[in-house]
């Protein structure tokens, strides 16, 4: 069972979407984790990275702040209460804030704490586990508390706090993170491009091989599809083109074969009357016809042969015109029953009872099929009936020949049609040759070269199919040949 074709475009878009989401997630996590780490907050990132070293004269970690405080404490409590020292430490400890409480009053706080009048600070001597947690996320959190007695005897505390959260402030190393995200996107896109190139290389080579095979004349090897949706459509189109070219070449070869056969048959069928005409003319010229009766007979045969040539040339011209569709039928609404009745009357007068007995059934109509109207060209339809009757007269092998025409109505799921059946009581043709009856220049008995030119039924088939109908040959119940024609009824009566 073949797999359903999938779209490589979806794979590439999914990979690109994943890389984009990962990049934005990195930005979001960076503000919450990385910048929190540099503010001294504990997070999962602290298990991966060590505290960052000092940057110039600045203080970047809590450990460095504590070292500064311990160094000041060695000089006495007055150093810890010195405003200049506190301002210098606050300026250097940029990720953190410094606050000094003496007694119950805040005597100093970092400029970052300006505007924040109310935030909780632990009491003097309170243990670390009792430090209050900030009520709001943007409030500072106490990281370290150093208690001491000032020179004035006041209970004093120095606090190291996190800086208030400023959502508008840029996180540290934003340029580096932007570069990292860009590299992530570039890597994902590069991976998608490499995957796309590798995935396309092999199918494209198959396309090239199939095209080269077709250009060299190999149209029998089918083009196999591909699992990628876009490439599957290309392979399907290539396979369709191969099939159409193969069918076109087959039809061209058949037309060439038919053309050669047509030329050979024309040469043969034209040679016979021309040879006869030449012989009779030579007889007249050399005086073989030495009596008025012989000369009259020679001239009568010459006229018949010339008439046969003229009729044959006319049939060839008509057949070529029908095949080229150079003269489309002039369709009219024709009452088929009345038309066949008139045709039988004319054919009976033309041939006489000594040649043929022509009769018909189903022309009176019944309550169920009283109207049988078709869209047809009356002249071409008359030619069809005449050719059928002429075929029976020429190939029946007896005189008079009995010709019967029957007309019925067919109602089926495929539509309503009129069926005309023309059959005779002649010797017919073998069942193996029934399908070839409508081929050009076909004769059931090749030895009877003078019986006709083998174009009548071919012309009739072209006319019937131009009217949207069908025609076939079958054995007659009377022992001869039966021709069955089906024509679609006019839509007004269908």
- Coil, helix or strand for 220? coil
User: Where do the structural domains in the chain lie, given as residue ranges?
Assistant: 47-162, 243-324, 328-488
Quick one: pLDDT band at residue 48, thresholds 50, 70, 90? low
Q: List b or e across 206-243, with b for residues whose CB sees 16 or more CB atoms inside 10 angstroms.
A: ebeebeeebeeeebeeebebbebeebbebbeebeeebe
pLDDT, tens digit, for every residue of 99-157?
998 888 888 888 888 877 667 788 888 887 767 766 666 678 888 888 888 888 889 99
Least confident of 311-315, 447-451, 471-475: 447-451
pLDDT, tens digit, for every residue of 151-162?
888 899 999 888
Terminal-residue alpha carbon distance, the chain = 47
Residue carrying structure tokens 């069942």: 431
Domain 243-324 listed as CATH 1.20.210.10: no
Under CATH, which architecture does the 328-488 domain have?
2-Layer Sandwich (3.30)
Dihedral Cα 463, 469, 475, 476, nearest 10 deg: -90
Share of the chain above pLDDT 70, in %: 73
Q: What pLDDT, on the 0 to 100 scale, is given for residue 494? A: 43
401 vs 395: CA distance, rounded Å: 10
327 vs 331: CA distance, rounded Å: 12
The half-sphere exposure of 294 on its side-chain side, counting CA atoms within 13 A, is: 11
pLDDT(187) > 60: yes
Dihedral Cα 12, 14, 17, 18, nearest 10 deg: -110
DSSP assigned state of 33: I
Q: What pLDDT, on the 0 to 100 scale, is given for residue 442? A: 66
Q: What are phi and psi of 208, to 5 degrees?
A: -60, -45
Q: Are strands 356-361 and 401-412 parallel, antiparallel or unpaired?
A: parallel
- Asked if 243-324 and 328-488 have one fold, the answer is no
Q: What pLDDT, on the 0 to 100 scale, is given for residue 65? A: 81
What is the chain's length? 494
Nearest to 259 by CA among 205, 314, 323, 200: 323
In this structure, are residues 188 and 194 in contact, taking their beta carbons and an 8 Å threshold?
no
- Between 59 and 211, the higher pLDDT residue: 211
| Structure token pair of residue 174 | 């934003």
Share of the chain above pLDDT 90, in %: 1
């Amino acid at each position: 069972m073949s797999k359903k074709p999938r779209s490589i475009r979806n794979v590439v878009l999914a990979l690109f979407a994943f890389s984009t989401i990962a990049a934005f997630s990195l930005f979001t996590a960076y503000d919450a984790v990385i910048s929190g780490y540099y503010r001294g907050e504990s997070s999962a990132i602290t298990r991966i990275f060590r505290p960052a070293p000092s940057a110039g004269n600045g203080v970047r970690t809590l450990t460095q702040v504590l070292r500064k405080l311990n160094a000041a404490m060695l000089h006495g409590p007055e150093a810890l209460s010195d405003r200049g020292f506190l301002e210098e430490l606050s300026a250097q400890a940029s990720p953190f804030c410094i606050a000094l409480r003496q007694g119950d009053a805040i005597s100093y706080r970092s400029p970052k704490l300006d505007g924040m009048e109310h935030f909780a600070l632990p009491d003097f001597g309170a243990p670390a586990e009792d430090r209050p947690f900030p009520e709001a996320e943007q409030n500072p959190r106490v990281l370290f508390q150093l208690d001491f007695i000032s020179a004035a005897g006041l209970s004093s505390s120095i606090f190291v706090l996190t800086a208030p959260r400023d959502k508008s402030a840029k996180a540290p190393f934003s340029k580096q993170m932007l570069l990292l995200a860009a590299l992530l996107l570039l890597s994902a896109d590069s991976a998608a491009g490499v995957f796309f190139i590798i995935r396309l290389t092999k199918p494209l080579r198959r396309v090239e091989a199939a095209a080269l095979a077709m250009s060299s004349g190999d149209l029998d090897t089918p083009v196999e599809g591909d699992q990628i949706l876009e490439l599957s459509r290309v392979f399907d189109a290539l396979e369709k083109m191969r099939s159409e070219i193969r069918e076109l070449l087959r039809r061209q070869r058949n037309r060439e074969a038919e053309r050669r056969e047509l030329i050979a048959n024309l040469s043969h069928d034209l040679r016979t009357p021309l040879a006869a005409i030449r012989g009779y003319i030579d007889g007249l010229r050399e005086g073989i016809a030495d009596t008025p009766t012989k000369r009259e007979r020679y001239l009568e045969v010459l006229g018949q042969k010339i008439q046969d040539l003229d009729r044959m040339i006319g049939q060839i011209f008509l057949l070529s015109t029908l095949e080229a569709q150079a003269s489309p039928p002039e369709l009219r609404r024709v009452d088929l029953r009345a038309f066949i009745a008139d045709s039988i009357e004319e054919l009976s007068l033309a041939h006489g009872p000594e040649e043929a007995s022509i009769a018909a059934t189903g022309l009176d109509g019944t309550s169920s099929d009283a109207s049988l109207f078709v869209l047809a060209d009356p002249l071409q339809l008359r030619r069809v009936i005449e050719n059928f009757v002429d075929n029976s007269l020429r190939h029946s092998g007896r005189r008079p020949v009995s010709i019967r025409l029957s007309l019925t109505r067919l109602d089926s799921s495929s539509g309503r049609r009129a069926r005309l059946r023309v059959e005779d009581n002649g010797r017919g043709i073998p069942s193996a040759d029934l399908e070839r009856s409508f081929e050009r220049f076909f004769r059931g008995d090749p030895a009877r070269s003078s019986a006709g030119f083998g174009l009548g039924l071919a012309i009739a088939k072209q006319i019937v199919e131009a009217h949207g109908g069908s025609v076939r040959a079958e054995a007659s119940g009377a022992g001869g040949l039966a021709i069955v024609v089906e024509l679609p009824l006019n839509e007004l009566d269908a």
